[in-house]
Every structure is written in C-alpha cells, then in structure tokens.
Amino acid sequence: MEICSSARGGLAKLIIFMLITLIVFIFILGLLVFVHELGHFVAARKNGVKVEEFGFGFPPRMFGVKRGDTIYSLNWIPLGGFVKIKGEAGENREDADSFAHKKIWQRALILASGVLMNFVLAAVLLSFGFMIGLPQAIDGENGYARIRDAKIQIIQVLDGTPAKEAKIETGDTLLSIDGVKIEEISQMQDYVAGKIGVPVKMIFDRSGGEIEKEVTPVFLPETGRGSIGVGLLKSGIVSYPWYLSLWKGAEATASFTGNVIIAFYELIKNLIVAQKVSVDLSGPVGIAVLTGQVARMGFIYLLQFTAMLSINLAVINFLPFPALDGGRIIFLIIEKIRRRPVSQKIENLVHNIGFAMLMVLILLVTYRDVAKFSDKFVGLWERIIK
C-alpha cells in the first residue's frame, strides 16, 4: 500500500501528536506519583523510620545513588515511583528505625502522608492557576476577579427541541443571533422568547471554526416561554490577586474533593444496589486520551486537569480497600481496637488479594477504554491513508 505525500504528512502529524500526548501523560503521572511517594518518604524520615530506597519510575533500575541510608534511584519504567520503607511488611519489628516498631498514630501518619501531599499538590496547582487565570463559570460579579475571554456556552441540548433538530451540540459557543452579538445569557433568552415561530440565524464557534444554524424558537413548557431548548453557561478565564488565589486554590480543592467523594459514593451505591456502573470510568488509556485532548486546549486547562487527577488519586488511595493506603489504615484501626496487630500473614494475604483485584479492574477498564476510543484511532488512520 502506497501512501501519498499528503497522507505521509498526516501520518507524521499523528505520530507527533501521539508522542507529545505520551510525554505529557508520563510527565503528569510521574509528577502525581512522585509527590505521593514524597509524602510517604518525608513522613517516614520525620518519624525516624529508615527509607531504604526512593525510586523514580519502576524497576529495572537505570542507576542509583546512595545518600545516608537511602538509595535514590532512577528506573527504566517511567510510570510513577516508589519508596521502600524498612519494616513496611511487618518485618524488623524490634528495630527502632522500622515502620513496624512505631506507634499506631505514627504509622497512620506515614501511610496518610502520600494522600495529603496529593491534596497539597492540587491546592498549589489551582492557586497558581487562579493567579494566571483558570476557566470558571461566571455566576456573579466579584470586584477582585479579573475576567477575560467571557463566552456563552451550550451545556445541554434537550431532546425533541429546535436546538436538537438543528444539530446544536454541547460545547458550542454562541456568538450572535441575527447579527446581534450575545454577551449575556439573559440577552439570548429574552431575544428568542419574542421570536416564537420566527426563524433566527445563530452563529456558533465550534472547535475554533464558525458555524451558522437557522433555528425556529417554540414555546416550551419546561421554560414557560419561547425557547430553542438549550442550557447555557457563561464562563471565562478568571484570575485573582495572589493573596486571594491561595484561598481560592484551597477552596477549589475542597470543592473538587467533595464532588469526587460524592461521585465515588454514587458509583459504589449503584454498583451494590442496582448492579450497574453509574459514572464513566477511565483507566490509563482513557486518561492518556483525555490528557492529549486537554493539552491541545492549552496550559491552563492542563493545569486544572492535573489538579483534578491529583485529587482523584488521593481519594482513590484513601478508600478502605486492601492494598491501598486506606486499606492499610483499616488494619491499624483493627490493631488499635484489638490491642494487638493482625497476623502479618493474614494481612499480607488480604493486601495481595486486593492488589490482584485492582489489577483485574484496571485491565477491564483498559479494555473498555480501548473499545470506547478505537473509533477515533480508526478514523484518524482512515483519514491518513485516503
């Protein structure tokens, strides 16, 4: 099969895009895991526990340098990192510098510090983001906020409405109606409310290009007035003075964390009660694809996306599931109640089973991601070879 010069150019662009996506994905994943493991490392050292190795990436080892009692290594598989803590599997219980020798609260702190560092990273990224400007809904006037690139976006298209028939899509940005520039949601709503049965010409921005739609407003019982059947959101790039950005970053971190916890609660509840998955899960492949899409949108969107991933990683790691930090803390709580530790063999067995279950889940989600995004890869390839 021969590929023409234009197709070769398309193939080159695809390869470059995929390489950039892969590099950005590895960098973000490495940052998140590095910060997580750094939390464990610092907490262990502060509590007098020996850290035998702090590795960036996973073995096999590329090289390592020993400083004090710790080997700092760089490994060939660049997907995260690890810390090897003395006594983390229950051994060397009699040694003062062993994890197993420390008090329950110290061990709990060491285990929880990775999660805490991911929250700190998210707050730092969001605080910096609010200094330079982050995409945000504009729902009122704030005298301290600086707003740029304000726009009216479509966030919902109701079925059986003129907007649906005109193939208006979620994410479209409304620019004008009948030549009138639209700057406020109420401006658009009031205009179409007085145009029931009269076709109007609407200009949208979709993925950087302008499109024109002719839509005829109708009376909708849902709104009680003339409408085309869309949900609207005014958004923009919002920034704050540095002293407010710190607070806004912490506030956004808390808000995002609450939303993630609620999402996991709904997921688990529906999985148990209705035996169905109520939210869209993504594994490594799905996250890599999303990373590429967000990276193309710009740095500030990638910054916000990284903060969200850090929060998700923190919440997941703190779930009371074997092999995760939260699962290990559950065993410390049991030890506190029983006044003696659980048999190390039993605990290790439970964690190994939990780890195996997580690996199976990751494989299933990865398979689902490949199936879900396969049409995009096939479409790209077909456009290249045509």
- Catalytic residue set: 37
Tally Cβ neighbours within 10 Å of residue 112: 20
Residue located via tokens 């073995």: 59
Tally Cβ neighbours within 10 Å of residue 370: 14
Contact 312, 134 (CB under 8 A): no
Residue located via tokens 């059986």: 160
CA 356 to chain centre: 24
Contact 252, 149 (CB under 8 A): no
Helical H segments across the chain, by residue range: 5-46, 104-132, 162-165, 185-193, 242-273, 284-297, 299-317, 325-338, 344-385
d(CA 88, CA 98): 8
d(CA 301, CA 290): 11
Cα–Cα nearest to 79, from 56, 60, 62, 61: 56
348: which residues sit within 8 A by CB, 6+ positions away? Answer: 89, 90
Per-residue tokens: 309: 């991933």
CA distances from 189 to 29, 152, 194 (A): 43, 12, 9
Per-residue tokens: 85: 């803590």
